[in-house]
Chains A and B, each alone.
Chain A
Amino acid sequence: MTEAAVSSAPKARTTARRPDSIRLLLNNSLATGGFIVLVAVALVALAAPFLPLADPDVTAPANRLMPPFSPDHFLGTDALGRDILSRIVWGTRVSLAVGLSATVIAAFFGSLIGLVAGYAAGRVDSVLMRGIDMIMAFPYILLALAIVAVLGPGLLNALYAIAVVNIPFFARNIRGITLGLSRREFVDAARLSGKSNVQILFIEVLPNVLPVIIITMSTTIGWMILETAGLSFLGLGAQPPQADLGSMLGEGRKILFTAPHVSVVPGLMILVLVMSINLFGDGVRDVLDPRLKSGVLTRPVARTTIDRKEAPSGLKPRGDAVLDVQDLRTEFHLGGTVYKAAGGVDLHLAQGECLGVVGESGSGKSVSAMSIMGLVPSPPGRIVGGAAFLGDEDLFSLSDERIRQLRGADVSHVFQDPLSTLHPLFTIGDQLTEAILAHRRITRSQARKIAEDLLKLVRIPNPAERLKVYPHELSGGMRQRICIAMALANDAKVMIADEPTTALDVTVQAQILSLMNTLRHERNAAILFITHDFGVVSAICDRVAVMYAGKVVETGTTEEILNSPAHPYTAKLIDCVPVLGEPERRLDAIEGRPPMVNNLPQGCAFADRCPKAQADCRAAPISVTEIAEGRSVRCLHPVKEGEHV
């Protein structure tokens, strides 16, 4: 056994990091605005004792109900002659303090209940969550009223009431997240590292739940301030003469028509405060929520953006190919970094031929295949060069409508996971007929008949009955047959199959492979077969293209590639796979890792891992050389026959 390579020390971690959270937050102008307003309000409220304000509680009946902009009283006075500006500042201080502390209390107890319930599951979970359900069964204002009724009116009691009322909100949210996290493998791993349940819960699970707690807090706090104001408005919170936004509103209510400013000013203050908190809270959620961060908010368009620098006038379709991809370049633009996922890919498929595209993850094989029909999500993906000829048409210069006509008709796809490809809520029959009707002007019953024939074609027993079942009622192998049937529904010329058997068991894989092989001969359809498994390649492919770091490094017939690989990468890749029936074979691992496609070297991308690399390999881009008919390799020093690398 050779020792595997010591992985090189990590390089400087400056390249390609996601934009950090604060920068993301500041990019959101609404959230930034909310944040600025909130900070300003909070600073003023905090500074209240030091500001030159009148005493908020001193009454002056002589100055009662002065309008705004009066001398000495910028916002006027209320029914008892108290300065409204001063009361607003002091009242905001109280409202903020109560809202914040209620949120913290609710977050603490709610999260604790949620964490324990989610982690312990079973009976503990049932007891805790039924308790929470009981709190939720009351209308919240009624519950808050009941609590205040028992404890007596007062700001502190209102605070408790609001905190208790909001505990279920936290408990349910946190429980859901914890439940998912507790079944994750790292929790099992921590248990096997000897950690106790308490340690696992608070050291392993809690840090992962924390962002959710913060998100929930940021979205609740505004609501809490409103509720405090509500209770005070009803006279159950702040007691006179203490100023609080809710109680000010309540006092102003009686004289709403004679002196509207007394209630309008605190009302506006509540609006500004809650609005700013909510805008900021939404911004925080967008930044912290991993699902939103990964780009759910940027909705990809129906077709990959095509952004070719120069018109590919020099590229002409080869005569004998149904599909001819030339110099395809697809890039991903993420946070200022450009990932050249496909950096000049050439593939061509003759009629009825099966071309295997082999490569490791990140080699660009899926991106190349998805680019053909514009299925790479944009943003961030875009096609920046090359052409893909289907017959005489360049797919990259066609209209969106023409592409829609071709998708699923002339070119169809089969993906890795049939369960996520099929719609769970429609029957197999509905989905098949829909695929047929999208491209043909026939009646539903005719389409149904074709669907039945298709199921027969993919060897599904009892097709008429099977049309009525839902995807979840079928096994994985059966589902993949349905997907193949769908791909064949409109007599596709080219079928693009992306790892169609990787998720299947070996016995099922054998069935699917032999089915695909028979069908392509029956239908004379070409298959672009993407896989990482040389065993699968030998079973079905006529020719193979090996990809590495976004380029095709070698093409040839399957036998040639397997028996006498010319590119050192192909040779090493074949050598490192265990082969059934040869247990004594030495597994020859490839040292190092493929380069990142955002930082490709000038010369050969494989040079750093290649035992045959020389100075000229690194000097300039390597072009493809044809070493025999239909056999080409992107290497200056190809492996000779019988040579071992």
Chain B
Amino acid sequence: MSEAALLTIDRAERVFGGGRTIFGMPKPAVHAVQDISLEVRKGETLGVVGESGCGKSTLARLIVGLDRPTGGSITLDGRDIAADAGNDPRALAKKVQYVFQDPVSSLNPRKTVRTILTAPLVHLIGLGKKDQERRLEELMEAVNLAPEFLDRYPHEISGGQAQRIGIARALAADPEVIVLDEPVSALDVSVQAQVLNILDGLKSRFGLTYVFISHDLSVVESVSDRVAVMYFGRIAEIGPAREVFANPRHPYTHLLLQSAPAPGRKSLVPEDANTELPDPYNPPPGCAFFARCPNATHKCKESHPPLEAKSGEATHLAACYHPHGGEEE
């Protein structure tokens, strides 16, 4: 990669459950995220798409230090995030921030917007009273809200406005990276566009780096520079957004794109209803997409395909032995 990476994820893994009971029986374990390696460069937007249960939200929580990986490492500017989250969570929160999916439940119902937005100013950057006022005004201006909203309670504002407050809170301490976990999926389409436009404006204005997580392919396509497609806790395909969407290599990406409804698209191409989803407690040894894949062979069942460049472009990787649109091996 040409530029140095700001955020590096190296073989990150998060297992829930596991261990043994007091009688020595193994407890069931779920690999929410496994063997994920990727880099995010400064100033880019990395989109992460996948269906429910694919581990995208777990990945997001790992990046902001709300959860710790059980294996591998995540580093920001060369500093280990898991270690920072334990020793100096404030230093980490100054650099990485998070925007939640549900705008209303991420705001404390008993606090005014002012109190909510002041918290990071006080605890993260230790601003004095006077600077706080000035910064609050800046933040409200940045997310296009009238300053009157500062004295309202969360139940007195709409979902779109609440999400803008969530974004303002994430911006407050001037972070480098913002992880956006489904930031617009709880919003109406007209409000969704407002929020997406605000996010776009803020990115160029403050030189932010986004990790944008969504299940909505069209939203991810419209905001991302690069895209990672996740399936069953692993990356199925990663590459420049335009490449991945125009020329998907992993059959799963292809299926997703085929299934997505779009205005004007008359019929969707559904897959056979008989397909079985993999059991997270009993993961298949090979490719997790095996049972649903039209190209599957015996080899796919045996071993997990590595994430490799498939289409000649070094930046476009897919974890598949028999990629869509041309056999490789």
Interface positions of A (Cβ within 8 A of B): 1-10, 13, 184-186, 188-195, 199, 204, 207-208, 360-361, 459-461, 475-477, 481, 505-507, 509-511, 513-515, 517, 532-539, 562-563, 572-574, 576-581, 583, 585, 587-590, 593
CB pair A194–B221 under 8 Å, yes or no, is no
A593 near B158: Cβ-Cβ < 8 Å: yes
Q: A8-B146, A191-B89 are in contact. Are A459 and B268 (CB under 8 A)?
A: no
Residues of B with C-beta under 8 A to A574: 263
B146: contacting residue among A7, A562, A573, CB under 8 A: A7
- CB pair B194 A5 closer than 8 Å: yes
A192→B98 contact, CB < 8 A: yes
Within 8 A of A (CB), among B126-163: 144-146, 148-149, 152, 156, 158, 160-161
* Complex: A199 Cα to B148 Cα, angstroms: 27
A534 to B260 Cα, complex, angstroms: 11
A563 to chain B, nearest CB (A): 8
Chain B residues within 8 Å of A593, by CB: 158, 160, 191
B-chain residues with CB within 8 Å of residue A572 when the two chains form the complex? 190
Cβ distance B299 to chain A, nearest Cβ, rounded Å? 24
Residue of chain A at shortest CB distance from B94:
A194
Q: By the criterion CB–CB under 8 Å, are A188 and B119 in contact?
A: no
Q: Is B29 in the interface zone, CB < 8 Å from A?
A: no
Q: Which residues of A contact B160 (CB under 8 A)?
A: 593
Counting CB contacts under 8 A, is B83 at the interface?
Answer: no
- Whether A505 lies near B215 (C-beta < 8 A) is yes
B98 touches A587 (CB 8 A): no
Expressed in whole angstroms, the Cα–Cα distance for A70 and B110 within the complex equals 57
- Whole-angstrom CA separation of A193 from B168 in the bound complex: 12
Chain B residues with Cβ below 8 Å from A6 are: 144-146
How close is A215's CB to chain B, nearest CB, in angstroms? Answer: 16
Residue from A9, A361, A587 with most neighbouring chain B CB atoms (10 Å): A587
Which residues of A have CB within 8 Å of B257? Answer: 580
* Known contacts A538-B261, A580-B262; A587/B196 CB under 8 A: yes
Contact with A along B27-69 (1 / 0, CB 8 A): 0000000000000000000000001100000000000101000
The answer to whether B106 and A189 touch across the interface, beta carbons within 8 angstroms, is yes
Contact A188 B201 (CB under 8 A): no
Q: Which of B109, B197, B245, B257 has the most A CB atoms < 10 Å from its CB?
A: B197
B259 close to A (CB within 8 Å): yes
Is A7's CB under 8 angstroms from B144's CB?
yes
CB contacts under 8 Å to A, within B76-105, are 89-90, 93-94, 97-98, 100-102, 105
CB distance from B61 to the nearest CB of A (A): 8
Chain B residues within 8 Å of A507, by CB: 51, 255-256, 259, 270-271
- Contact between A539 and B268, CB atoms less than 8 A apart: yes
Q: Which residues of B contact A583 (CB under 8 A)?
A: 221-222, 241-242, 245
Ordered nearest first, which 6 A-B pairs have the shortest CB separation? Answer: A535-B261, A194-B123, A576-B193, A510-B259, A4-B194, A505-B51
Q: Does B4 contact A (CB under 8 A)?
A: no
> What B residues does A513 contact at CB under 8 A?
261, 268, 270
